[in-house]
A = this chain, B = another copy of it.
């Protein structure tokens, strides 16, 4: 799993129906790094350091075997000091 920081919410009005109303968050591994989009399964706020799961595991973690996610937030890290 990857350790990432939540930056903000992402709004996508025009999207496929299968995404439902799950919140989408912009995350990144480090300041200035590539930004990715993750589905929030725990309830995060900007600034949180979180655990993101990818691969096929991201789907069920987002709610169902059919959910279209390849990156899902599955936990908030209690204390994290980035390198």
Contact = CB atoms under 8 A, between A and B. Distances in A.
Interface of A: 1-3, 10-16, 18-19, 24, 26, 29, 32, 34-38, 41-43, 51, 53-61, 66-72, 74-79, 83
Contact of A37 (B1, B19, B35): B1
22 contacts: A1-B36, A1-B38, A3-B26, A3-B36, A10-B77, A11-B78, A12-B51, A12-B78, A14-B42, A15-B75, A16-B61, A18-B60, A37-B51, A53-B69, A55-B55, A55-B58, A55-B70, A56-B57, A56-B59, A57-B58, A57-B59, A60-B68
Nearest to A69: B57
Contact of A75 (B19, B66, B71): B19
Number of copies: 5
